[in-house]
A and B are shown apart, each in its own frame.
Chain A
Amino acid sequence: MGVTRIAWLVARKDLRVEWASKVFTNQVLPFAAVTMVIFAFALDADVVLERVAPGLVWLATLFSLLVLVQRSFAIENEDGALDATRVAGVDPRAIFAGKALALAVELVILEAMLLLAAVVLYGQDVPIEGVPLLAVTSITATCGLAAVGTLYGGLAAGFTGRETLLPLLTLPAVAPVLIGATRAVEAALGTAGAVVSDGWPWVGLLTVFAVAFGVGGALAFGPLIDE
């Protein structure tokens, strides 16, 4: 069985588990929505909210990413399934790619909801000329976040105290995504006078980040979960 085929099986399995357990829809999405509402309460001024909305969307995405990654590996550890995949000789690159793909699908849905929340709660406008940049930013940032989350999720899964270790490892690593994606979305939305062309260099950074962690993660995941 090829890596791509098994990665697809793993991704489909992860999404089926989420669909069956309803944790994503009943807990993660509401958590992200509540985070956005809390931000609105904390920064109760339209001008400030409009200025910081792109950053808040990505901050809420990062917090939700931690919950999603914890969940992604909790289903593996609940009855020893991750150990079973090692014993079954399932290619670790396929496990990495499959889990990252499932995570990416969930993140894209989450980001769409968060952007909608920013429009509704913060009165954020989405100019039509910024939509392509917004879409490409979301895809590249999502790939990077999914790769980092899966890599560090796999690393933390083998340790006691994994719940606290994961944020400690992940948040510093995804800081470049937070910065790049925020700047790119600011450009797409025209926040504080930014123009769309300002955003594309940040998309370049996000792409390099996603490729680096995608390739590095696929290579490192096997030794991480094996030893």
Chain B
Amino acid sequence: MSSAATDPAPVVELDDAVAVLGSFPALAGATLRVQRREILLLQGPNGAGKTTLLRLCAGLLPVARGRAAVLGWDLAHHRREVRPHVGLLGHANGLYLDLSVGDNVRFWGSTVGASGAEITEAMALLAVDGRLGGLKVRSLSAGQKRRTALACLVARRAQLWLLDEPHAGLDAAGRDELDRTLRAAAAAGATIVVASHELERAGALATRTVEVVAGQVREP
């Protein structure tokens, strides 16, 4: 896999992209490039459009105007096609709380045809294997649930990780663990976009930071 500096095709390409929530343009002409293996921090006040930008990149919102492409797919026409290759982790983890950690990772991995070895590897990478793998998700700590959700992303072979406030609800050890995981994932080829208000921690994690203000993206 080529490095961010030499890879010619950005993972995310937004050109004057507009996304509308109801009648409100939550994203009002955003322009952004994100290269493979980057960890990009989106910072900005509440309501600035960070979450909308993540949801647009995940193919969950239509592009009202401008151009938006993710992993080579033009989102104006191929929103559904891009989704299997993208992982969006918001305030919820997207887990089945009455299933075990292993059952959750197996389920999400199976939806893309991941092999047993890939699922085992994903669980080992996020350290949710062994005894933890057999526990019900409902009984886990917030940090363990977060790691399980990330293991599901790995098992799903998501190439672009879109994380909304990933450190929320985690204790100091959980945050350190999450940062290590994200750095390892980026090193392994994933591209990560993080929206966060925790600028000190997320800033240290990110390889680049942009500011989202009034639905537009500004380089600091």
User: How many residues of chain B get a CB closer than 8 Å to chain A's CBs?
Assistant: 32
Task: List the B side residues contacting A87 at CB < 8 Å.
Answer: 58-60, 83, 86-88, 94
Known contacts A13-B107, A79-B137, A85-B111; 5 additional CB pairs below 8 A are: A75-B97, A86-B60, A87-B83, A89-B81, A89-B84
User: How many residues of chain A get a CB closer than 8 Å to chain B's CBs?
Assistant: 21
Task: List the A side residues contacting B98 at CB < 8 Å.
Answer: 17, 20-21, 75
A108 interfacial contact with B, CB 8 Å: no
B112 interfacial contact with A, CB 8 Å: yes
Which of A1, A80, A83, A84 has most chain B Cβ within 10 Å? A84
Given A86-B83, A87-B60, CB of A79 within 8 Å of CB of B97: yes
B93 interfacial contact with A, CB 8 Å: yes
Task: List the B side residues contacting A89 at CB < 8 Å.
Answer: 59, 80-84
A120 interfacial contact with B, CB 8 Å: no
Task: List the A side residues contacting B110 at CB < 8 Å.
Answer: 1, 9
Cα-based distance from A16 to B91 in the complex (angstroms): 25
Whether A81 pairs with B95 at a CB distance below 8 angstroms is yes
Task: List the A side residues contacting B156 at CB < 8 Å.
Answer: 88
Task: List the B side residues contacting A20 at CB < 8 Å.
Answer: 98-100, 136
B113 interfacial contact with A, CB 8 Å: yes
A171 interfacial contact with B, CB 8 Å: no
A90 interfacial contact with B, CB 8 Å: yes
Whether B88 pairs with A16 at a CB distance below 8 angstroms is no
Whether A90 pairs with B58 at a CB distance below 8 angstroms is no
B203 interfacial contact with A, CB 8 Å: no
